[in-house]
Structures are given as structure tokens and as C-alpha cells.
């Protein structure tokens, strides 16, 4: 593989709130390379899909390394300011967080990828690249081009926090052809007018900003302990925990409302109590009791914590423990 540094004579700077992968799309469009593969080789990007939610595969790691090197910034800073890592790391055990942190601080080329990470199959929110038309207009006016904003890729967010405008789906699951928002063809309006959806979105956006701003690494252990603490889950016996999980899922459904839950989880479909012919799974029990080594998406943990009325600042949770 070619070394990225020696082949690249210029590289664009990352814009505020720009997603890491967006800069590679912009680079490709101005580099004038004949093929996509040529750009990928030039930048040393490992093959693989460029998805907004991916933070643990080799493509992501090589992209992070290349951008950090060319921009002369630390890997940690690029990850914090331009990727969903600040949110997605919340459900990583501290041991794995430490591994990642160490790798980034020491600028290691090979970053340990937790291969059991982020099962998002049952999550129904839009996982394609999204944008806000007003942001594109503003960006084009101010800097001459539109780019992919990081905050528009936060899972289950449906509005632009600056313009309150509905986010549009580009229909692109990956940026493998280095598309920019102007290349999007299929736009679906997905506005949320539901009050509960708006409250959840505001909380989640504030939480994301809080995670970006604070250097502390709140992880899975804190999420679990916070949940048990605020919802008063008994340590034992097992039947008492099970009974408590039943009560909690009822409370969370009441607070969140089924319309919000069905925009997030596949197993909520209207008022039906079944999913694929079986009783609807108690996602809270499955989340907090599962022995499955796969790490769940942070949304599973955050939703019941939000429903309990906690602040969107994770560093405050650990103080209450
Ligand atoms: Zn906007």
C-alpha cells in the first residue's frame, strides 16, 4: 500500500461538524483522480463501506489515521470532533475504551477493533447519509460547497438542530463512490412533529455535545449502574429483577410513547403486542441481562435512562452512583 503522506500534496481541512468520511469525498472531487480506487490507494483507505455509524472496522481506522496524519491533529481529536465515537463509545466496556484510547494517543496504525461491536439489526432509524437543505445552502454560500454534517448522522435524530428543518435521507447507505450531498438523488422527508420525539431528540443531541465536550470516558459500566440506580432494580433474587424489568418496560413505554418507540425499534409495530408471532421482547430485560457477548447500540441503554428523567450529561450520572 502507498503511504498516504507521500502521495498527497494537498488535503482539505475538516469543516465544523463535518463527518470524517465527508472530507475524503471532497478530496476525491478536487483531486481529479480517474478512479475511486486511485483515490483510495492514494489515501491508504482500507476497502470497506463508508457508513456513518461504523466506528470499529478497518476502513474507519485507516480513514481516521489518514485524516489525523494529513491534518496534523491527534487521532483522539479527529474521532471526537468528526465521528460518532463520542456517542457510540458509551456502551463500550472501559477495558475496550482504554485500548482504543491508548491506540489513538500513541498514534498506532493498527487499532484493536472490537469485532463484537454494535448490533443494530433491530434498530429501524434511518442509517443512510442524511443532510439538511438549509445547511447545504448556508455552507455553499459561506464556504463554497455543501458537506456531510456529523450531527445529522446521529441515530434517530430527524431534525437539524440549527434550522429545525427536517433531515433528508440521501438514500446512500455508504459513501463508497465519494458522493457529496449534491449527488444525492432520492430525498425522503422525515420530519418529526411528535412532542416526545422532539424531547428525545433534543436530549440526545445535548448528550452528544456533552460527550464531545467532556474528556471523560463514560462507558458501559456507568450506563448499567445508572440504570439500576435510577430505576431501583434489585440485585437479587432473579425473579424480583425479572418482575422489575416488566414494570420498567411499562413505564418506559408510557413515557416514550409507542410512536417514538416504533421509529427506533423494529419490534414495536403500532399497538401490536406481538412481533413475528411471539410476544414483543422486553428490550430492557434483554439489554441489561443478556449474556450475549455482542455489545448493544447505546440507544438501548440511553432510552430507559432518558425516560427516567436524567440529565443529558453522562459525567453527572457517575457522580450520583
Ligand atoms: Zn440545517
As a whole number, mean pLDDT of residues 164-185 equals 89
Top mean pLDDT of 61-70, 100-109, 178-187 is at 61-70
Report how far ligand 1's centroid is from the alpha carbon of 19 (Å): 14
Instruction: Say how many Å lie between the CA of residue 161 and the centre of ligand 1.
Output: 7
Lowest mean pLDDT among 4-18, 34-48, 190-204: 190-204
**From ligand 1's centre to the CA of 200, what distance in Å?**
18
* 100 C-alpha to ligand 1 centroid (Å): 32
Coil, strand or helix at 159: strand
* Residues recorded for the chain: 321
Q: What is the pLDDT of residue 113?
A: 56
Interval between CA 202 and ligand 1 midpoint (Å)? 15
Pick from 19-23, 42-46, 182-186: least confident: 182-186
Distance 165 CA to ligand 1 centre (A): 6
DSSP state of 169: E
Separation of CA 80 and ligand 1 centre (Å): 21
Q: Which residues pair with 188 in a beta bridge?
A: 169
pLDDT at residue 117, as a whole number: 52
Is 32's pLDDT higher than 60?
A: yes
Mean local confidence (pLDDT), 136-144: 94
3-state secondary structure of 166: strand
Query: Distance from the CA of 166 to the center of ligand 1, in angstroms?
Result: 8
Tell me the average pLDDT across 69-87.
93
Mean pLDDT of 123-150: 93
35: pLDDT strictly greater than 60:
yes
The Å distance, Cα 13 to ligand 1 centre, comes to 20
Asked if residue 61 lies in contact with residue 69, where contact means CB atoms within 8 angstroms, the answer is: no
What is the per-residue pLDDT across 205-230, written as a single tens digit (0 to 9) for each? 999 999 999 877 788 999 999 999 99
Mean pLDDT value of segment 104-125: 67
* Across 115-129, 209-223, 236-250, least confident range: 115-129
Taking the centre of ligand 1 as the mean of its atom positions, its distance from the CA of residue 218, in whole angstroms, is 29
The larger pLDDT score, comparing residue 26 to residue 101, is at: 26
pLDDT exceeds 90 at position 244:
yes
Sort strands 168-169 and 130-131 into parallel, antiparallel or unpaired: antiparallel
* Mean of pLDDT values over 8-26: 93
Q: Quick check: helix, strand or coil at residue 30? A: helix
Q: Provide, rounded to the nearest whole percent, the portion of the chain with pLDDT above 70.
A: 88
Q: How far apart are CA 22 and CA 15, in angstroms?
A: 10
In 3-state terms the chain splits into helix, strand, coil percentages (rounded to 5) of: 50, 5, 45
Ligand 1 centroid to Cα of residue 136, in Å, is 7
pLDDT over 60 at 68, yes or no: yes
Q: Where are the domains of the chain?
A: 4-105, 130-189, 195-319
Q: Quick one: pLDDT at residue 1?
A: 46
Do the beta carbons of residue 75 and residue 108 sit within 8 Å?
no
Q: Phi/psi class of residue 65: alpha, beta or left (left: φ > 0; alpha: ψ in -120 to 50)?
A: alpha
Mean predicted lDDT score pLDDT of the chain: 87
Amino acid at each position: 500500500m502507498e503511504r498516504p503522506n507521500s502521495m498527497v500534496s494537498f488535503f482539505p481541512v475538516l469543516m465544523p461538524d463535518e463527518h470524517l468520511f465527508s472530507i475524503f469525498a471532497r478530496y476525491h472531487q478536487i483531486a481529479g483522480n480517474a478512479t475511486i480506487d486511485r483515490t483510495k490507494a492514494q489515501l491508504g483507505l482500507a476497502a470497506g463501506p463508508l457508513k456513518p455509524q461504523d466506528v470499529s472496522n478497518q476502513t474507519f481506522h485507516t480513514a481516521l489515521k489518514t485524516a489525523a496524519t494529513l491534518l496534523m491533529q491527534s487521532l483522539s481529536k479527529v474521532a471526537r470532533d468528526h465521528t460518532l465515537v463520542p456517542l457510540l463509545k458509551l456502551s463500550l466496556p472501559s477495558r475496550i475504551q482504554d485500548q482504543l484510547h491508548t491506540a489513538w494517543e500513541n498514534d498506532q496504525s493498527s487499532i484493536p477493533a472490537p469485532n463484537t461491536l454494535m448490533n443494530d439489526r433491530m434498530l429501524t432509524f434511518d442509517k443512510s447519509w442524511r443532510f439538511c437543505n438549509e445547511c447545504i445552502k448556508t455552507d455553499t454560500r459561506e464556504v463554497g460547497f455543501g458537506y456531510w454534517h456529523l450531527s445529522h448522522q446521529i441515530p434517530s435524530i430527524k431534525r437539524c438542530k440549527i434550522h429545525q428543518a427536517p433531515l433528508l435521507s440521501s438514500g446512500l447507505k455508504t459513501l463508497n463512490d465519494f458522493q457529496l450531498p449534491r449527488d444525492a438523488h432520492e430525498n425522503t422527508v422525515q420530519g418529526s412533529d411528535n412532542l416526545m420525539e422532539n424531547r428525545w431528540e433534543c436530549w440526545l443531541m445535548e448528550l452528544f455535545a456533552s460527550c464531545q465536550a467532556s474528556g471523560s470516558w463514560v462507558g458501559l459500566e456507568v450506563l448499567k449502574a445508572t440504570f439500576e440506580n435510577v430505576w431501583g432494580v434489585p440485585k437479587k433474587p432473579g425473579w424480583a429483577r425479572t418482575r422489575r424489568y416488566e414494570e420498567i418496560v411499562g413505564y418506559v413505554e408510557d413515557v416514550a410513547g409507542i410512536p417514538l418507540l416504533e421509529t427506533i425499534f423494529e419490534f414495536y409495530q403500532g399497538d401490536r403486542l406481538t412481533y413475528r408471532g411471539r410476544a414483543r421482547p422486553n428490550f430492557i430485560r434483554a439489554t441489561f441481562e443478556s449474556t450475549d457477548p455482542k455489545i448493544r447500540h447505546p440507544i438501548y441503554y440511553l432510552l430507559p435512562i432518558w425516560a427516567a428523567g436524567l440529565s443529558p450529561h453522562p459525567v453527572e450520572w457517575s457522580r450520583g452512583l
